[in-house]
């Protein structure tokens, strides 16, 4: 018979992993992807782990100069959290744009990354924010980047069979702004046709140290170095150059694909919107006299 476990701590989880040995293991967070993927087809030999009872996988807090996010935090808890809004605005944007209210109430940030969809929203934002991922297993903890967890195969993460995502650490950097936006086929409950996240340091009207990630052009969100460089240009030149760099990137990533011209026009629209969002956030922070943190 399929075994079901709901460990109440990572120590108990660790002991259960050892006890289960070579059994196939399913780790269930909010279940919004897992239920659709498995459709009840679980072998009798499998062990299903409900991850919702482990307090170590919960919490949103600022520790030193990082924003710590438990992997089991939901999209609703993330986008309604003031610390996320102020210190990781792109993540707040991404969490609030995901699915429906019902999906956001269940879908977790750990599940969104582990599912590794090319169109996933929060991994794109977390990558632009330079977040690191703390992975837990019987042999201890390790720290990976978002890109390392996503790897190069669509819908497949690089975690080993007994590894889980425990938490994320997002650097809190004074004088930085960030934003995320996606375009889908509908205005609500829509998977991204293209999504993009940007974070950058600002000084007056000038941006530097930018990170730009674009989803749906490859196996997962991909960094666009060419576009990052254009954000440092004079404001009068940057929007056009930003758009051109993104279109060039799309040509490299999906050459000859029938959707290329559509994706290029979406990228241009997203570029305009995201630059507008960043500029507005700089204006708001300068007006309030409070330096933005990301």
Ligand X SMILES: Cc1cc2nc3c(=O)[nH]c(=O)nc-3n(C[C@H](O)[C@H](O)[C@H](O)COP(=O)(O)OP(=O)(O)OC[C@H]3O[C@@H](n4cnc5c(N)ncnc54)[C@H](O)[C@@H]3O)c2cc1C
Binding mask 79-108 for ligand X (x = CB under 6 A): -------------------xx---x--xxx
Minimum Å gap between C-beta 207 and ligand X is: 26
How many residues touch ligand X under the rule CB under 6 A: the total is 29
Minimum Å gap between C-beta 285 and ligand X is: 28
Residue nearest to ligand X (CB): 111
Tokens 């582990």 correspond to 114
Using the minimum distance from each CB to ligand X, give the nearer residue, 31 or 226: 31
Asked if residue 123 lies in contact with residue 113, where contact means CB atoms within 8 angstroms, the answer is yes
Q: Which listed residue (54, 67, 125, 165) binds ligand X by CB under 6 A? A: 165
Q: Can residue 164 be called a binding residue for ligand X (CB under 6 A)?
A: yes
Minimum Å gap between C-beta 186 and ligand X is: 10
Residue 92 to residue 35: CA distance in whole angstroms: 25
Minimum Å gap between C-beta 155 and ligand X is: 10
DSSP state letters, 193-248: EEEEEEEEEEETTEEEEEEEEEESSSSS-EE-HHHHHHTTS-HHHHHHHHHHHHHH
Residue 62 to residue 25: CA distance in whole angstroms: 33
- 31 by DSSP, 3-state: which? coil
Using the minimum distance from each CB to ligand X, give the nearer residue, 133 or 271: 133
Q: Can residue 118 be called a binding residue for ligand X (CB under 6 A)?
A: no
Residues of span 23-82 touching ligand X by CB under 6 A: 26-34, 51, 71
19 CB-side CA count, 13 A: 12
Neighbours of 141 (CB within 10 A): 12
Using the minimum distance from each CB to ligand X, give the nearer residue, 58 or 268: 58
Q: Counting beta carbons within 10 angstroms of the beta carbon of residue 39, is it exposed (0 to 12), middle (13 to 18) or buried (19 or more)?
A: exposed
- 269 is written with which tokens? 């629209």
Q: Can residue 151 be called a binding residue for ligand X (CB under 6 A)?
A: no
Helix-then-strand count for the chain, H and E: 12, 12
Q: Can residue 111 be called a binding residue for ligand X (CB under 6 A)?
A: yes
Query: What is the binding site for ligand X (CB under 6 A)?
Result: 26-34, 51, 71, 98-99, 103, 106-108, 110-112, 114-115, 120-121, 159, 164-165, 189, 191
């Amino acid at each position: 018979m399929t075994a079901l476990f709901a460990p109440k701590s990572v120590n108990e989880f660790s002991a259960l992993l050892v006890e289960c040995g070579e059994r196939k293991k399913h780790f269930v967070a909010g279940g919004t992807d897992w239920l659709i993927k498995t459709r009840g087809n679980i072998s009798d030999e499998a062990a299903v782990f409900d991850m919702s009872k482990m307090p170590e996988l919960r919490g949103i807090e600022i520790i030193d100069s990082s924003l710590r996010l438990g992997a089991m935090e939901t999209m609703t808890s993330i986008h309604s959290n003031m610390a996320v809004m102020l210190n990781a605005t792109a993540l707040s944007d991404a969490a609030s744009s995901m699915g429906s209210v019902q999906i956001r109430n269940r879908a977790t940030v750990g599940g969104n990354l582990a599912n590794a969809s090319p169109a996933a929203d929060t991994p794109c934002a977390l990558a632009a924010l330079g977040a690191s991922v703390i992975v837990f297993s019987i042999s201890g903890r390790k720290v990976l980047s978002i890109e390392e967890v996503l790897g190069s195969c669509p819908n497949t993460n690089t975690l080993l069979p007994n590894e889980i995502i425990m938490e994320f650490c997002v650097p809190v950097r004074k004088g930085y702004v960030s934003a995320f936006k996606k375009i889908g086929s509908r205005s609500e409950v829509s998977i991204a046709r293209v999504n993009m996240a940007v974070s950058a340091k600002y000084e007056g009207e000038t941006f530097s140290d930018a990170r730009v990630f674009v989803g749906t052009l490859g196996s997962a969100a991909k960094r666009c170095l060419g576009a990052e460089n254009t954000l440092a240009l004079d404001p009068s030149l940057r929007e056009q150059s930003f758009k051109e760099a993104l279109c060039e990137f799309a040509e490299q990533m999906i050459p000859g694909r029938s959707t290329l011209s559509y994706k290029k026009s979406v990228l241009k629209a997203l570029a305009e919107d995201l630059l507008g969002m960043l500029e507005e956030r700089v204006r708001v922070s300068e007006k309030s006299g409070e330096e933005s943190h990301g």
